[in-house]
Amino acid sequence: MARDLLLEIGVEEMPSAFMGRAIADLKANAQKQLDDARLSYKEIRSYGTPRRLTLWVQGLEEKQPDALLEIRGPKKSIAFDQEGNPTKAGLGFARSQKVDFNNLEVREVGGVEYIFVIRKEKGNASTAILPKVLLDIINSLTFPKSMRWGYYHTRFARPLRWLLAILDSEKIDIRVENIKSTNETYGHRFLSSGALPVKDVQHYFQVLRENYVILDQEARKELIRKQVLDVADAAGGHPMENEDLLEEINYLLEYPTAFYGQFSPSYLEVPPEVLTTSMIEHQRYFPVFDNQGNLMSGFIGVRNGTDYSLDTVRAGNERVLKARLEDALFFWNEDNRKPLVDMVNGLKEVLFHERLGSIMDKVERLQTLAVAIGEACSLSDAATLKRTALLCKADLVSSMVYEFPELQGIMGRYYAIKSGEKTEVSQAIFEHYLPRSAGDILPTTESGKVLSLAEKIDNLTGCFAIGLKPSGSQDPYALRRQAMGIVHIILDSGLSLDLAALVGKAYDNFADIQTDSNRKDTISEVMEFIVQRMRGVLLERGYSYDLIDAALAVPSNDITDISNRIKALQDLRQSEIFDDFMVVYNRCHNLSKKWQDDSINTQVLVDESEINLNRSFNLIKYDVYRSINAGDYLGACKMLAGLRPEVDDFFNAVMVMVDDAELKAARLGLLKAIANLCNFIADFSKIVV
């Protein structure tokens, strides 16, 4: 008969950020341990609140199936002597397995004969195996950070305080450190008291419900979502959508009650980003917007408990937020007392990196690099770019950004506007940090694009120059994200620029700094790194890997050009000339692969087919070059594909590898020349037909 297993791991309040993974791991560990123990089941579910992780196995078989164990002993030649009698080694094996030597079997494994014990193992009752299985499940849970407590050596996310383990109504005895399992659970920390006996699995769920614990994280989350929406609705607004915040709150409580709190509308003069950051980051409140999308002077908090004495809770939270907003208002007024440009001087005292100098040093580098980039892609003008570069980091020394680091750039834009800077400059100050994460918006102003590129190229070049390259999962300076940002900005705007030259300019800005990597190596490493990210970006956009690799095989410092070639290859593959082109390329390339010289001594060509091929090739050659230079790669491919009849005739008519060395050289030279011309566009040998 199948039974229900329940394990509850009682803990002190777990970090909310750990919970999602812990709940998933609990289920996965249980699956693995039960499978290893040959215990079958119908379904496994796992749940979690801040104070508990719960595993529920439904339909667990009462017994393991019988198993046939085959235990391999020594080789037959070792187990028996020449007369066919058992040796010491053979007898020893039998003794160790507690079987009579005559009951051993000989079996062949990989052409060698061994002696075997074949033993039928009676399946054990699940109750006998479960204690070990449960302990293994608990011990295989890992967390991003774990700790010890008291006199114990066990590590867990937070101290373990109780264990409940039952099979239907039967207690399973396990022990972790001083905690012995029982059939008792605990309810809500403040709305329930003492140990609560549990009769069976269904009763467990009932007991928790009655004691203000909503165990199922999904049900709890939806309840919070609904409560928050209802409260916002009653206040005449709608809450900010924020799944991360909802997820975090969900693991901060066992029984939610949402409530609406208010603050003085006078704080609304502070930029909304500041108010919402304070509400979300400091207090875990949902900001509320009216139907016009304006921030309202209210917030939604979610309490861990019922609505008992909710007014006290509301008043307390309102008072705390008021103090926070008062601080924010103070910072806002303080920062606005002087123009943004006055903050620039303070950047000398802010460290960028101990080996790469202060932020002020960085600002000076950005000024020259931004002007160079602006010139290279004809965006913005030197004066605007210099001004933007000068001001783009100034908000780092504002009181507001000191308090809310995530508002960098956003505050800079506000302060620039208040200081009367040009709109282009103010907007570019905000945009130079973009994109801040995968999928984030990209800069839209010309100066914003240039500054964003300058910022990222400077970061990459500086870090690579002093050996701070990302490795494996380690990327503390988020260089991968920044390289992706460079790729997105360039491709999105179709900017054509010599990226390697700009990395070189960025490197020259570090002239006063002791670097670990020289100019040439740094440029090639940074380029390689960016191109790798570009490969990822293009794969994500749906281009197939072989086309990407074919185009990347032709080195270029202009990633827009690389991207255009990949697009042309995609078009080529979908066009009716694709087969013709690949025949031309493959026939010419395959035979001339190992031949280096693409000069053709036309004097020695004898056959009509080769003379024709050479003539046709000469007719299109310069047009192909021109098309390639103009970026019309598909046009170039079309012309080359047109050689198909001549190429086919040639291969039907002549043998290339003839004894006449001069003739052979001329024929190979012709094929090589055609293949090389194709290779200007991409390495077509990488294309999977």
Partner 1 sequence: MNFQEIILRLQNYWGKQGCIILQPYDVEKGAGTMNPATFLRALGPEPWKVAYVEPSRRPTDGRYGENPNRLQHYYQYQVILKPSPDNVIELYLDSLRDLGIEPDKHDIRLVEDNWESPTLGAWGLGWEVWLDGMEITQFTYFQQCGGFDCFPVCAEITYGLERIAMYIQNRESVFDIEWVDGISYADVHHQTEVDYSHYNFEVAAVNTLSTMFNLCEEEAQKIAARHLPQPAYDYVLKCSHLFNLLDARGAISVTERTGYIARVRNLARLVAGEYLEQRKRLGYPLIKDEELRKTLIIDEEVL
**Contact positions toward partner 1, by CB under 8 A?**
12-17, 50, 145, 147-151, 158-159, 161, 178, 189-191, 252-253, 283, 301, 303-305, 308-309, 312-313, 315-317, 319-323, 326-327, 330, 349-351, 354, 358
Strand 43-49 and strand 67-75: pairing? unpaired
Cβ proximity to partner 1: between 315 and 501 the closer is 315
Task: Output DSSP code: residue 631.
Answer: T
Strand 295-304 and strand 160-167: pairing? unpaired
Tokens 């990196």 correspond to: 353
Closest CA to 450 of 378, 383, 536: 378
In the complex, the smallest distance separating the C-beta of residue 52 from partner 1, rounded to whole angstroms, is 14
Cβ proximity to partner 1: between 303 and 456 the closer is 303
Cβ proximity to partner 1: between 310 and 656 the closer is 310
In the complex, the smallest distance separating the C-beta of residue 11 from partner 1, rounded to whole angstroms, is 11
What beta strand segments (E) does 25-104 contain?
A: 43-49, 52-60, 67-75
In the complex, the smallest distance separating the C-beta of residue 239 from partner 1, rounded to whole angstroms, is 17
Cβ–Cβ under 8 Å, residues 136 and 168? no
Three-state DSSP at 259 gives strand
* Cα–Cα distance, 310 to 255 (Å, whole number): 14
In the complex, the smallest distance separating the C-beta of residue 150 from partner 1, rounded to whole angstroms, is 4
In the complex, the smallest distance separating the C-beta of residue 681 from partner 1, rounded to whole angstroms, is 50
Q: How far is CA 350 from CA 52, 192, 204, 300, 347, in A?
A: 44, 51, 56, 37, 5
Cβ–Cβ under 8 Å, residues 345 and 409? no
Long-range own/partner contacts, residues 291-294 (CB < 8 A, 24 or more apart): 291/236, 291/237, 291/238
Cβ proximity to partner 1: between 12 and 508 the closer is 12
In the complex, the smallest distance separating the C-beta of residue 517 from partner 1, rounded to whole angstroms, is 22
Cβ proximity to partner 1: between 309 and 601 the closer is 309
Cβ–Cβ under 8 Å, residues 347 and 396? yes
Cβ proximity to partner 1: between 221 and 303 the closer is 303
Closest CA to 369 of 268, 477, 450: 450
Q: Which two tokens stand for residue 417?
A: 């506007």
Burial (CB < 10 A; 0-12, 13-18, 19+), residue 415, is buried
Cβ proximity to partner 1: between 124 and 262 the closer is 262
In the complex, the smallest distance separating the C-beta of residue 112 from partner 1, rounded to whole angstroms, is 47
Cβ–Cβ under 8 Å, residues 303 and 310? yes
Give the neighbor-by-neighbor strand order of the sheet with 3-11.
Answer: 43-49, 52-60, 3-11, 160-167, 170-171
Closest CA to 173 of 113, 230, 130: 130
In the complex, the smallest distance separating the C-beta of residue 228 from partner 1, rounded to whole angstroms, is 15
Q: How far is CA 321 from CA 172, 275, 333, 400, 479, in A?
A: 48, 10, 18, 16, 36
Cβ proximity to partner 1: between 315 and 619 the closer is 315
Cβ proximity to partner 1: between 257 and 426 the closer is 257
Cβ–Cβ under 8 Å, residues 374 and 448? no
In the complex, the smallest distance separating the C-beta of residue 329 from partner 1, rounded to whole angstroms, is 12
Q: Which two tokens stand for residue 419?
A: 């200081």
Cβ proximity to partner 1: between 330 and 680 the closer is 330
In the complex, the smallest distance separating the C-beta of residue 534 from partner 1, rounded to whole angstroms, is 35
Q: Is the alpha carbon torsion for 314, 316, 320, 325 positive or negative?
A: positive
In the complex, the smallest distance separating the C-beta of residue 279 from partner 1, rounded to whole angstroms, is 10
Cβ proximity to partner 1: between 150 and 439 the closer is 150
Cβ proximity to partner 1: between 120 and 337 the closer is 337
Q: How many CB atoms lie within 10 A of CB 597?
A: 11
In the complex, the smallest distance separating the C-beta of residue 312 from partner 1, rounded to whole angstroms, is 6
In the complex, the smallest distance separating the C-beta of residue 179 from partner 1, rounded to whole angstroms, is 9
* Cα–Cα distance, 640 to 654 (Å, whole number): 21
Tell me phi and psi for residue 336, to 5 degrees.
-85, 0
Task: Please list, in sequence order, all residues whose beta carbon lies within 8 angstroms of the beta carbon of residue 571, skipping any fewer than 6 positions away.
Answer: 634
Three-state DSSP at 262 gives strand
Cβ proximity to partner 1: between 315 and 553 the closer is 315
In the complex, the smallest distance separating the C-beta of residue 271 from partner 1, rounded to whole angstroms, is 21
Cβ proximity to partner 1: between 190 and 545 the closer is 190
Task: Please list, in sequence order, all residues whose beta carbon lies within 8 angstroms of the beta carbon of residue 270, skipping any fewer than 6 positions away.
Answer: 325, 328, 329, 332
Cβ proximity to partner 1: between 17 and 591 the closer is 17
Cβ proximity to partner 1: between 323 and 661 the closer is 323
In the complex, the smallest distance separating the C-beta of residue 313 from partner 1, rounded to whole angstroms, is 5
* Cα–Cα distance, 78 to 50 (Å, whole number): 60
In the complex, the smallest distance separating the C-beta of residue 503 from partner 1, rounded to whole angstroms, is 26
3-class secondary structure per residue, 501-561: HHHHHHHHCCCCCCCCCCHHHHHHHHHHHHHHHHHHHHHHCCCCHHHHHHHHCCCCCCHHH
